[in-house]
Structure 1
Amino acid sequence: MGRRITLVLLSFLLASGAAACKEAPSVSSTTSTTVANVLFNPCVGIPDDAVRAAGVDPETEESGIGGVHQSGWEICSWDGPKYSITVYSTGRTVAEFESKPGNVEFRDVTVADRKGRQFKVEGASKNLDCNMLVPASQGVVQLAVMNLAGQDNLEDPCVILYRVSESIVPALPR
């Protein structure tokens, strides 16, 4: 459990740059009242059947990072025997992720009839994880796959990401 929390926290910090990024944007109504974006909650919005189809166990669900809520984000992760998946929901934009140093190898992808941007994060875990951003009305939803370090014969995480996305992406907001 401790290793998983560390890997998820590392993945989150590398992928989001939470400490260096601004708070999630807010929207203004026509009466100039500021209302915070309502973020999609992946722990609530992604059905257990989709989680199982993605190859991870719904019983391992964890909200936040190490169980701690992160301001401006809704985060949920699940573990499987060889990899974990984490879904991050935020008001940030694809452009913010693309301009963050360390996020590399961006490419367009289409999964479950949704266009997105696949990328990796430079560093020690670069060959263990793969990420995808799916634009949504609130900002973006990021899906991250992280191979479990220390396993033999690990599959390419971007191949896993594509397979996992087939069951998870249909549950994401538009």
Structure 2
Amino acid sequence: MRRVLSSLVIGGVVVGAVVGCDAESGTPVATSSAPAPLWDPCSEIPDDAIRAVGVDPATEELGIGGVHQSGWEICRWRGGDKYSVAVFSTARTVSEFEQKPGQVDFRDVTIADRTGRQFKVEGASMDLRCDVLFPAQQGVVQISIMNRASLEPEELEDPCVYAQRVGEVFVPLFPS
């Protein structure tokens, strides 16, 4: 059996394909080395779960500002004028997040009986935001809570406490 390796460039992304022959029939067979699709929080988290964490399913926003981000599946919902909840899905690893400059205060957490890594992002919004990463076979699923900067400090809830509550509802829905 003869194998030929070819590559396709589609929209700037290189996708490899292995072409060979079926051992019995001699028919050409192609298999793709493209990564498996990412878990999509917008389609996989039901509206009742979204409501249960205090955000409105009608405020759903895909991507960042409605723009899809290559290598990510992102969904965000608003909770009135106080905060937003976002769920990110990517093939990146926890280690890659830990090595990224500006991401600090990593610590282990357990939410809904699943171990994750909580962190903060340096800067003015550090006390307004909390992120928790959950390793998955595809890479990582991330919960991100962001309080509105326009609120008075006494109106703000600790975003990491809120991330724990959101995780109790959402984490059981995440891929393993």
Identity across matched positions, percent = 61
The Cα of 1:33 is off from its aligned counterpart by 3.7
Per-residue CA distance 1:63-115 (angstroms, 9 max, x = gap)? 11111111100000000021101111000000000011111000001111111
| Cα separation, partners in 2 of 1:143 and 1:159, compared to 1, 3 Å | same
Amino acid at match of 1:62: E
The Cα of 1:62 is off from its aligned counterpart by 0.6
Q: Which residue of 1 aligns with 2:150?
A: 150
Amino acid at match of 2:87: V
Give 3-state SS (helix, strand or coil) of 1:125's partner.
coil
Amino acid at match of 2:171: V
Unaligned runs of 5+ in 1: 1-25
| Cα separation, partners in 2 of 1:157 and 1:169, compared to 1, 3 Å | same
Q: Which residue of 1 aligns with 2:130?
A: 130
Give 3-state SS (helix, strand or coil) of 1:71's partner.
coil
Asked whether 1:93 is paired with 2:93, we answer: yes
Q: Which residue of 1 aligns with 2:38?
A: 39
The Cα of 1:28 is off from its aligned counterpart by 9.2
How does 1:104-143 map onto structure 2 within 5 Å?
104-143=104-143
Give 3-state SS (helix, strand or coil) of 2:58's partner.
strand
TM-score by length of 2: 0.80
Query: Contact 1:130/1:144 (CA < 8 Å) preserved in 2?
Result: yes
Amino acid at match of 1:165: G
Q: Which residue of 2 aligns with 1:66?
A: 65
Q: Which residue of 1 aligns with 2:51?
A: 52
TM-score by length of 1: 0.80
User: 2: CA distance between counterparts of 1:90 and 1:66?
Assistant: 18
The Cα of 1:27 is off from its aligned counterpart by 10
Per-residue CA distance 1:17-42 (angstroms, 9 max, x = gap)? xxxxxxxxx9999x874122310000
Q: Which residue of 1 aligns with 2:169?
A: 167
Q: Figure out how many residues of one structure are paired with residues of the other and give that number.
A: 149
Q: Which residue of 2 aligns with 1:19?
A: none
| Cα separation, partners in 2 of 1:138 and 1:51, compared to 1, 3 Å | same
User: Which protein has the bigger helix share?
Assistant: 1
Q: Which has the higher contact order (CA 8 A, sep 6+)?
A: 1
Query: Contact 1:64/1:70 (CA < 8 Å) preserved in 2?
Result: yes
User: 2: CA distance between counterparts of 1:115 and 1:28?
Assistant: 36
User: 2: CA distance between counterparts of 1:37 and 1:102?
Assistant: 29
Amino acid at match of 2:53: A
The Cα of 1:164 is off from its aligned counterpart by 1.1
User: 1: CA distance between counterparts of 2:52 and 2:137?
Assistant: 26
Query: Contact 1:120/1:126 (CA < 8 Å) preserved in 2?
Result: yes
User: 2: CA distance between counterparts of 1:134 and 1:28?
Assistant: 31
Unaligned runs of 5+ in 2: 1-14, 21-30
Structure 1 ranges of 4+ moved more than 6 A: 26-29
User: Which protein has the bigger strand share?
Assistant: 2
Query: Contact 1:27/1:37 (CA < 8 Å) preserved in 2?
Result: no
